[in-house]
Amino acid sequence: MKQTYIDVCLSFDAVDVAVTQDCNYIPRCVFKHGEITMLTDLSRKYTEKLQNKIDYINPTVCTPVIDILPNLSAIRCFGLSEKLSANINAFENINELTGYFSVKLDNSLRCNLISSGCDNCRSLYIGCNMGCLRARLEYKT
């Protein structure tokens, strides 16, 4: 996905459109030095232009993105939809529902590394989320 992401960033830049990442970002360690430089330059360009923080490369912390299905059940996100769902009528508000998924799913997955390369990586201490939580279902340390 790295090259697809770079291609999308460059294609959008060609028409002067900024790109932002959601929770399913590509970890910084996947990119080569030149790619990081190029993406950092795009971040600066659009941050200055839009006067709003745009970050093409630095990780964000994944929080539940609640998706409501037609049957009124909720899932944490489509990537983790098979793992856990909940009936929205069982919760008072979106904060309770988000908290439910955080406690029941996120907390148990946070300790799973996405690869052995993540073990003792300095970026974990500055907020790297190691990419999508979905990948942690398969990788156990």
What tens digit of pLDDT does each residue of 45-62 get?
999 999 888 888 875 667
pLDDT score recorded for residue 94: 92
The residue ranking higher by pLDDT, 117 or 55, is 55
* DSSP conformational letter for 105: I
- Helices (H) then strands (E): counts for the chain: 4, 3
pLDDT, tens digit (0-9, with 9 covering 90-100), for 12-30: 999 999 987 766 678 888 8
pLDDT score recorded for residue 24: 67
d(CA 6, CA 138): 26
Which of the four pLDDT bands, split at 50, 70 and 90, describes residue 141? Answer: very low
What percent of the chain clears pLDDT 70, i.e. is strictly above it?
Answer: 88
Residue type, 83: K
On average, the pLDDT of the chain sits at 84
